[in-house]
Amino acid sequence: GQLAGLNIPTDATSAIAAAYRAAGGSSGPLGAKQGDQYAVGDTGAGQNFAGGKVFFSPDTGAYAVTGDILAKYEKAGGPTGDLGFPTGGESDGGVPDSRVSTFAASDNPVIFWTKDHGAVVVRGAMKAAWDKLGGATGALGAPVDDQNTEGATVTQKFTGGQVSWDSKANKFTTDPANLAEQLSGLQVPAGPTPRVMVCLRMAS
């Protein structure tokens, strides 16, 4: 009982090796190791393999990302982008021919892959609504495409319908319309802080 909650330090190399073994090692989807371990950000690390990559941070541990999910993740900035480091290994998405990976950003993002629609990011208000309605196995089904933002309204399509959230009115609308009743009062997680780019122009 005195050891409950004890924080056991984990070095990146050991954690990545454990994640590799958990993913099946050289006979699993990652395949053979490629190159040396490398730094990611200030405290993270990564290791490339023939079929994917393993990313580690002290806060999240080490997890593998492969295939179309990896391609989508890296397009979104990878572990140094606003999705953050992976927080779990790829798992079955609950519907046929699907996989899902979770990430560390404050708005609980996932990348959900299906054979028919590829890899799609679900996050923020869309993720909260999707979870409330049962996720991929619920009324909305699997995501079809990434969310779209127009003004204050965010919309995302799923195989079973569509969800929209007006951030100014803090209101959900859905298609089918009856699903919106279940989203009344739903708490929407705050997203990551946007990155600000400053451009300096030299005076002529």
**Residue 164 has what pLDDT?**
98
Tell me: the pLDDT tens digits for 59-83? 999 999 999 999 999 999 999 999 9
Average pLDDT estimate for 180-200: 69
Which residues are CB-contacts of 139 (< 8 A; sequence separation ≥ 6)? 133, 160, 161, 176, 179
Q: Is the pLDDT of residue 196 over 60?
A: no
Q: What is the pLDDT of residues 117-160, one digit of tens each?
A: 999 999 999 999 999 999 999 999 999 999 999 999 999 999 99
For the chain, the average pLDDT equals: 90
Which pLDDT tens digit goes with each residue over 98-109? 999 999 999 999
Res 71: pLDDT: 98
Residue 201 has pLDDT above 70, yes or no: no
Categorize the per-residue pLDDT at 6 as very low, low, confident or very high, splitting at 50, 70 and 90: very low
pLDDT at position 112 is: 98
Question: Helices (DSSP H) in the chain: which residue ranges?
Answer: 12-22, 67-75, 124-132
CA angle 89, 93, 94 (to 5 degrees): 135
Give every strand in the sheet of 44-49, ordered side by side. Answer: 33-40, 44-49, 52-57, 61-66
Confidence of residue 174 (pLDDT cuts 50, 70, 90): very high
